[in-house]
A = this chain, B = another copy of it.
Amino acid sequence: MYKIAVLPGDGIGVEIVPEALKVLQAIALRFGYEFEFNEALIGGAAYDAVGHPLPAETLDTCRNSDAVLLGAIGGPKWDKLPVQLRPEVGALLPLRKELGLFANLRPSVLFPGLVHASTLKEEVIDGVDIMVIRELTGGLYFGEKKREQTSDGGQKATDILSYSTFEIERIVRFAYEVARKRGKKLCSVDKANVLESSRLWRETVNKLARDYPDVETSHMYVDNCSMQLIRNPRQFDVIVTENMFGDILTDEASMLTGSIGMLPSASIGGEVGLYEPSHGSAPDIAGQKKANPLATILSAAMMLRYSFDLEEEARLIEQAVRTVMEEGYRTPDLMEEGKTLLNTEEIGDLVAAKI
């Protein structure tokens, strides 16, 4: 029996999360598990209900669960709020910190039959399978912030970027373990020619590399990496990098395949992992049953793998999604001639039926 905190959130979040629960129920049925789903408010929905995007009860629900399944957060309705109350920042950042989610995993995979969805040429994108691992609880995001007056009547604003050996070691070790189970290539991305934090990062990677002789280690500057992802994305297996660079590079990498509606994510490190689709709350299509729930369903698969160590079950979900795609079923975001259009619930039903 596993306890799962369920946070649908805003926009299409409330439509896609139920589809992932359907699929988890199918797994429960087939393998004789029991999943207890405890729903809680987060984001704009929570702000509207109780005045804060991350209510204390929600945090408690997460802490008392074995894992968290999140839909999506935010929307134009809440964009004018003070930054600490805005759904994304006011909920996501404290949630990451409180749950100790120092490792963010975002795969960027080309699904068969979806080559056309990419803005990149088929021969460049074919076979891409990258895992970007982003440090998620350090760096500029959580450094001290300051605002001062300057003598010329203006202001000066400051952010601090710090990393400790401890913080770097734990994320890099984690990345090595992931690389070991994949293509055995780890590319560490930094700006060691300019930043002191990146120099410590690189030194630490070089020290740890000795413990993973079976994994090929390389270093790349972040500016070069942002080019190489476009020039030849197939050169990458696992990428590991610090928080701010990871924010930029995970988004860039997720755009390569053109099907962000298919890409899950996992944030782990503490006792409770958090799983959510890579895409946002898409307020423009919310409430229309047009949303693609597959990224959320694949996030549930990541939950089984990383939080519950249920590898076989995770693969079963991933295979079910692949089969549904191969059979030509599509939500509107990926629809093309000759395929069969389904709505959010219909495609969720289909995946669940394959389990």
Q: Are B146 and A196 in contact (CB-based, < 8 A)? A: yes
Beyond A120-B119, A150-B166, A252-B252, whether A157 also contacts B231 by CB under 8 A is: no
Pick the residue among B86, B197, B231, B245 that contacts A158 (CB under 8 A).
B197
CB contacts under 8 Å to B, within A228-262, are 230-232, 244-245, 247-252, 254-256
Q: Are A197 and B157 in contact (CB-based, < 8 A)? A: yes
Q: Are A156 and B147 in contact (CB-based, < 8 A)? A: no
- Tell me whether A1 is interfacial, beta carbon within 8 Å: no
Residues of B within 8 A of A86 (CB): 193
Residues of B within 8 A of A124 (CB): 119
Minimum CB distance partner of A144 in chain B: B196
- Tell me whether A227 is interfacial, beta carbon within 8 Å: yes
Residues of B within 8 A of A282 (CB): none
A355 CA to B111 CA, complexed, in Å: 51
Q: Are B165 and A155 in contact (CB-based, < 8 A)? A: yes
- Tell me whether A121 is interfacial, beta carbon within 8 Å: yes
Minimum CB distance partner of A227 in chain B: B255
Q: Are B195 and A159 in contact (CB-based, < 8 A)? A: yes
- Tell me whether A223 is interfacial, beta carbon within 8 Å: yes
Q: Are B255 and A140 in contact (CB-based, < 8 A)? A: no
Q: Are A248 and B231 in contact (CB-based, < 8 A)? A: no
- Tell me whether A194 is interfacial, beta carbon within 8 Å: yes
Q: Are A162 and B158 in contact (CB-based, < 8 A)? A: yes
Residues of B within 8 A of A249 (CB): 226
- Tell me whether A160 is interfacial, beta carbon within 8 Å: yes
- Tell me whether A88 is interfacial, beta carbon within 8 Å: yes
- Tell me whether A341 is interfacial, beta carbon within 8 Å: no
Beyond A156-B164, A193-B89, whether A231 also contacts B247 by CB under 8 A is: no
Residues of B within 8 A of A155 (CB): 164-165, 200
Beyond A83-B193, A161-B158, A252-B252, whether A223 also contacts B247 by CB under 8 A is: yes
Interface string of A163-177 (1 = CB under 8 A from B): 111100100000000
Q: Are B256 and A196 in contact (CB-based, < 8 A)? A: no
Residues of B within 8 A of A227 (CB): 251-252, 254-255
- What are 13 A-B pairs at a CB distance below 8 A? A83-B199, A89-B194, A119-B124, A150-B166, A156-B163, A157-B163, A157-B164, A158-B160, A159-B160, A223-B250, A226-B255, A227-B255, A244-B244
By a beta-carbon cutoff of 8 Å, the part of chain A in contact with chain B is: 83, 86, 88-89, 93, 118-121, 124, 140-141, 145-147, 150, 152, 154-166, 169, 191-197, 199-201, 222-224, 226-227, 230-232, 244-245, 247-252, 254-256
The 3 closest A-B pairs by CB, nearest first: A154-B165, A157-B200, A145-B196
